[in-house]
Amino acid sequence: MPVKVMIPSPLRPYAGKRDSAEFNARTVGEALGRLTSEFAELRKHLYTEEGKLRSFINVYVNDEDIRYLAKENTPTKDGDTISIIPSIAGGLPSIARGGI
């Protein structure tokens, strides 16, 4: 069942500069597993050392947040789009501003 995984621009340097990739996968976890085996450097950006999805990374199947579905066990079907949406602060990422 090919599903499309959309890779956001902050993570593309770790994914061979690709903006998307297609995998045969029955669940979100399986698709992300295939993605991170193909691009090993992505793994530490998506998962903690304990293997949990990082809390500043949200994953959607089509327009639904998997946290409100079955998380990584969320089933996928042919033609689904999985989006990885990291938090971005905006502006100039190289400069952390201010004194809060």
Partner 1 sequence: MATTTQPETGAKPAASLSNEEILRYSRHLIMPEVGMEGQLKLKNAKVLLIGTGGLGAPLGLYLAAAGVGKLGLVDFDVVDFTNLQRQVTFGTSDVGKPKSEAARARLSNLNPDIQIQSFETQLTSSNALDLFKDFDIIVDGTDNFPTRYLVNDACILLGKPNVYGSIFRFEGQATVFGLPDGPCYRCLYPEPPPPGLVPSCAEGGVLGVLPGIVGSIQAMETIKLILGRGDHLIGRLLLFDALGMKFRELKLRKNPNCPVCGAHPTITKLIDYYEFCGVRGEEAPGPSLQVPEITPRELKARLDRGDDLFILDVREPHEYQICNLQGHLLPLGELTRRVHELDSSREMVAHCRSGKRSAEAVDFLRKAGFRKILNLKGGILAWSDEVDPSVPKY
| Using rule CB under 8 A, residue 49 touches partner 1 | no
* Residues 6+ away with beta carbon under 8 Å from 33: 25
| Using rule CB under 8 A, residue 92 touches partner 1 | yes
- Single out the residue of 45, 53, 76, 82 in contact with partner 1 (rule: CB under 8 A): 45
| Alpha-carbon torsion, ordered 77, 71, 82, 48, to 10 deg | -140
| Using rule CB under 8 A, residue 70 touches partner 1 | no
| Using rule CB under 8 A, residue 10 touches partner 1 | yes
- Single out the residue of 26, 37, 41, 52 in contact with partner 1 (rule: CB under 8 A): 41
Cβ neighbours around 46 below 10 Å, total: 19
